[in-house]
């Protein structure tokens, strides 16, 4: 009976920021256009177009760990104002880690995954689920992503 209930933004009001284009909007033809709330503030998209403004289509929400583990560019860790940060894309995307150890473990897991994928490219017949190293890395990633 008292106070106000926060309203979700209308579809046309929802906007995201990209490194090169600033604010972008989800295109009205996108399946996600009517989605008014995303659990994660990060989206990946396939297509970006500019008409009356910049729009993205074919987009999906992505949470932090998949973004850090599978996103492009190098992963860096740093201490900033007493907080340990994990950064991507030359610091444009940053996440606060619980501790220096967590930041370094996530960075190391990303390096291990990158190396595992390089090994798979060099040897396509390698079965990652049977390979002891591969199965441990994949198992850890699955556990991390599913318990996030």
107-141 tens-digit pLDDT:
999 999 999 999 999 999 999 989 999 999 999 99
3: confidence class by pLDDT, cuts 50, 70, 90:
low
Q: Are residues 69 and 141 in the same domain?
A: yes
**Spatial distance between the Cα atoms of 105 and 101, rounded to a whole number of angstroms:** 6
Q: Are residues 39 and 84 in the same domain?
A: no
- By C-alpha distance, which of 65, 52, 88, 49 is closest to 147? 65
**Spatial distance between the Cα atoms of 146 and 148, rounded to a whole number of angstroms:** 6
Q: Is 99 part of a structural domain of the chain?
A: yes
Most confident among 13-22, 29-38, 46-55, 65-74 (mean pLDDT): 46-55
Q: Is 106 part of a structural domain of the chain?
A: yes
Q: Is 104 part of a structural domain of the chain?
A: yes
Q: How do 83-88 and 54-62 pair as beta strands?
A: unpaired
Q: Are residues 57 and 82 in the same domain?
A: no
Average pLDDT, the chain: 89
Q: Are residues 79 and 46 in the same domain?
A: no
The answer for residues whose C-beta is within 8 angstroms of residue 23's C-beta and 6 or more apart is 15, 16, 17, 53, 54
CB-CB contact of 75 with 106 (8 Å)? yes
CB-CB contact of 103 with 86 (8 Å)? yes
3-state secondary structure of 122: helix
Domain range enclosing 69: 65-147
Q: Is 1 part of a structural domain of the chain?
A: no
66-92 tens-digit pLDDT:
999 988 788 999 898 989 999 998 888
Which of 19, 35, 62 represents a domain boundary (last residue)? 62
Q: Are residues 47 and 70 in the same domain?
A: no
For the chain, what is the domain count? 2
Q: Are residues 47 and 79 in the same domain?
A: no
């Amino acid at each position: 009976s008292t106070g106000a209930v926060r309203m979700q933004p209308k579809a046309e009001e929802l906007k995201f920021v990209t490194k090169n284009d600033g604010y972008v909007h989800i295109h009205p033809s996108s399946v996600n256009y009517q989605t008014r709330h995303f659990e994660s503030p990060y989206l990946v998209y396939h297509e970006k177009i500019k008409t009356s403004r910049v729009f993205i289509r074919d987009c999906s929400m992505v949470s932090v760990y998949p973004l850090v583990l599978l996103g492009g560019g190098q992963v860096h860790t740093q201490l900033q104002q007493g907080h340990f940060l994990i950064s991507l894309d030359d610091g444009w995307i940053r996440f606060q880690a619980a501790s220096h150890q967590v930041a370094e473990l996530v960075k190391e897991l990303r390096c291990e995954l990158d190396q595992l994928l390089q090994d798979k490219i060099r040897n396509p017949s390698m079965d990652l689920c049977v390979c002891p190293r591969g199965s441990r890395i994949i198992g850890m990633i699955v556990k991390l992503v599913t318990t996030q």
